[in-house]
Structure 1
Amino acid sequence: MPSLFRLSPTAPGVSRLQRDSFPFVLSDGRRIDVMRVRDPRAKRLRLSVGERGARLTLPPRTSLVAGERFVHEHRDWLTDQLAQQPGDVMALVPGEATSVPLRGRMLPLHWAPGRVARVVAGEEALTLQLPARAGQAAVSRALRDFYEAEARADIGRWLPAYLPGLPRPPSRIRLRVLSSQWGSLAPDGTLTLDLALVLGRPAAFEYVLVHELCHLIHADHSRRFWREVEARCPDWRDARDYFRDEGRRLKAGLHVLLDT
C-alpha cells in the first residue's frame, strides 16, 4: 500500500486519521504488515493487536523512523501477542489447497479456472472458480459474495417463523463486516448483521437474528425484552457463551479471508 505520510514525515497540522502499512519481520521469522495510523488526537506512540492484526498509532509530529523503531523495540511483545490471537484460518493464495469456515465446519476449498470469479458449493467442499488474470481482490469479492448469499439463505429459512409475533417486519436486512457488534437495529427498522455469523454455528446465528428482531418489540434490554428472546430462543445462553468463546476467532477469520 502506498504511504500516506511520505510527503510529510512529521505530518504537522494533520486534522484527520491517515493510514498506511509497512512490512515487518517478527521474532519467529514471520512477515506481517503493520497498520500505521497517524491520529491527531494521539499523545504518544501506541502499538496494539486486534482482529485486523498489528496497529501502530502515531501522534501528529512523530516521525515514521521513530514509529518503526518503536515497533522494533517491542518486537518480542508483538510476536507473543500475535501468537495468542485466535484464528485457524489462513489467507487465501490462488491455487493453494486450504479450508474455509462455513456454518461451524471447515470445508476444503479447491481452485478451478472460470470465466468469472465465484465460489461454487458442493456437498463436502467448495470450489473457487477464477479467471486466469484475476487478482486477490477478485478472490476476496467472490468469497464475500458467497458468504453473503449463504447468510441470506439462512435468514430466509428462519425469518418467516418469527414474523407473526412482531409488530412489524424489519424494513431491510444488511450484512456487514462489523468490528465488535454481532447485530443492530436502526430506528428506521434496518437490521444489520455481522457477516462473520455465517462462519459459526447456525444456532448462534439464529439467536442473533432473534435478538435483533425482539428489539422491534422492546428497544431496550429490559426484562420484558429478555422474556421475548427466551420465548423464541430458549437456548440463548448457550449462544451467548459460544460467542464469548469463539467470537473473536470468527471475526478474525473473516478479516483474514476477505483481506479487510
Structure 2
Amino acid sequence: MTSLLRLLTGRPPAAPRTISRETVAIVLANGQRVEVLRVRDPRARRIKLSVDERGPRLTLPLRASEIAGQRFVIEHGDWLLAQLARAGTDAPGLQPHRTETLPLRGTEVPLRWQHARYLRIQTGEDAIEIAAPETVALKSLQRALRDFYEGQARADVGRWLPRYLPGLPRAPARLRYRVMSSQWGSLAPDGALSLDLSLVLAPPAAFEYVLVHELCHLIHADHSRAFWREVEQRCPQWRLQREYFRDSGRALKARLRKLIAADE
C-alpha cells in the first residue's frame, strides 16, 4: 500500500538507512584507553560489545545514544580487557628497523636488519633478514612481509602436498592464501583450496592438519563420521591440533593482521 501511495503521489522513496562505522577512544574505569570500532546498524536491536582479531566492536541500534554505548563499554571493561588479552590484539605492530622478532612456524624468530637500497626479506641461518632503506615506508614493509609469509606457506605446503595426493580423487584445482576472519581454510565446489595466511605462524603440525582437513573434503564434502575417519587416517593427532586453534587461534590471526595491516 505504501509503495502504491508513493507511486500515485509522486513522493520519492525514503533514503535507505545504512551502517556507519567510526573508531573512537574510550577510557575504562581503570584509566586504560581502548580504541573501539563503533558501528551504528539499523538492523541491531540492542547494544552489543564483541572482540575478534580486528579488535573491539561496539554495535549500536539507531535509537541508542553514543553516551549509552560508552557507558556500556565501561561497565564491561573487565570483560573487554580479558578478551583483548586472549585475542592478542594488544600485540605490537611492525616497526621499521626496530622490531626484534617475528612469529614463524610456532616460534619467535630473531630479526636481523640491514640498510640497503632495495627492500628484501629472506630467511638466514638463525634469523629473518630484512634489508631495507633507512626511511622505508611502513606500507611497503608490510606488503613485503605478507609476500614473505606467503612464500614460506607455499614452501611448507609444497613439501606436504605430494604425500597426500595419491589418496585423493583429484588434486585441488588451485591454491590461494587469504587473511580470513573465522575460517582456517575452505574448499570451493570447483576444487579451489583457500588457506588462512596466519597458518604459517602456527606450529607446522597445526598448519598441516588444516591442509589435511581441507584435502579430505575432496573425498567427503561434509563433516560426517566418514570424513573424520579420512582425517584421522592421515593426521592421528588432529584433535590436539584442533584444540591448539581453539586456544590460540584468535591471537594468531590478530598477530598477523597487526603485522601486515590486513583489511580483508
Quick check: TM above 0.5?
yes
CA distance in 1, matches of 2:178, 2:34: 25
TM-score, length of structure 1 as denominator length: 0.83
Aligned to 2:213: 211
Secondary structure of 1:47's aligned partner: strand
Q: Secondary structure at the match of 2:208?
A: helix
Larger Rg: 2
8 Å CA contact retained: 1:27, 1:79:
no
The one-letter code matched in structure 1 to 2:251 is R
Q: Deviations over 1:194-224 (max 9, x none)?
A: 1111111111111111111111111112222
**Aligned residue number for residue 48 of structure 1:** 50
Q: Answer with 37-46 or 113-122: which moved more.
A: 113-122
Q: 5+ residue gaps in structure 1?
A: 1-11
Q: Structure 2 matches for 1:15-164, cutoff 5 A?
A: 15-27=17-29, 30-62=32-64, 64=66, 67-68=69-70, 70-72=72-74, 74-86=76-88, 89-164=91-166
Q: Letter of the aligned partner of 1:254 in structure 2? A: L
Match of 2:3 in 1: none
1:148-199 per-position Cα deviation (integer Å, ceiling 9, x unaligned): 1100010111111111121111111111111111111000111111111111
Where 1:152 maps in the other structure, the secondary structure is helix
What is the alpha-carbon distance in structure 1 between the residues aligned to residue 163 and residue 157 of structure 2?
Answer: 11
- 8 Å CA contact 1:175–1:194 kept in 2: the answer is yes
Distance of aligned partners of 1:159 and 1:65 in 2 relative to their CA distance in 1, 3 Å threshold: same
Long gaps (5+) in structure 2:
1-13
Give the corresponding residue for 2:204.
202
What is the aligned partner in structure 1 of residue 222 from structure 2? Answer: 220
**Amino acid in structure 1 at the alignment position of 2:215:** L
Counterpart of 2:107 in structure 1: which amino acid? R
| Structure 2 SS opposite 1:148 | helix
1:177 aligns with 2:185: no
More off after superposition, 214-223 vs 17-26: 17-26
Aligned partners of 1:123, 1:217: CA distance in 2, in Å? 40
Aligned position for 1:4: none
Give the direction of change, closer, same or farther, for the CA distance of 1:32–1:123 in structure 2 (3 Å limit). Answer: farther
Give the Cα separation in 2 of the matches to 1:111 and 1:51. 28
Specify the alignment match of 1:5 in structure 2. Answer: none
SS at match of 2:164: helix
Q: Name 2:251's counterpart in structure 1.
A: 249
Check the 8 A contact 1:118/1:143 in 2, yes or no. no
CA 192–56 in structure 1, closer or farther in 2 if over 3 Å, else same: same
8 A contact 1:51–1:255 mirrored in 2: yes
Q: Is the 8 A contact 2:179 2:198 kept in 1?
A: yes
Distance in 1 (CA, whole Å) between partners of 2:213 and 2:231 is 6
**Paired residues of 2:178 and 2:195 also in contact (CA < 8 A):** yes
Aligned mates of 1:53, 1:169 — CA distance in 2: 37
What amino acid does structure 2 have at the position aligned with 1:17? I
Asked if structure 2 preserves the Cα contact closer than 8 Å seen for 1:45 and 1:59, the reply is yes
Superposition map of 1:226-245 within 5 A? 226-245=228-247
Tell me the distance in 2 between the aligned counterparts of 1:142 and 1:27: 40
Corresponding pairs, count: 249
Partner of 2:8: none
Residues 113, 25 of structure 1: alpha-carbon distance in 2 compared, 3 angstrom cutoff = farther
Q: Label 1:238 to 1:230 Cα distance change in 2 as closer, same or farther (>3 A).
A: same
The two structures have a TM-score, normalised by structure 2, of 0.82
Q: Percent sequence identity over matched residues?
A: 59
Distance 1:74 1:242, change over 3 A: closer
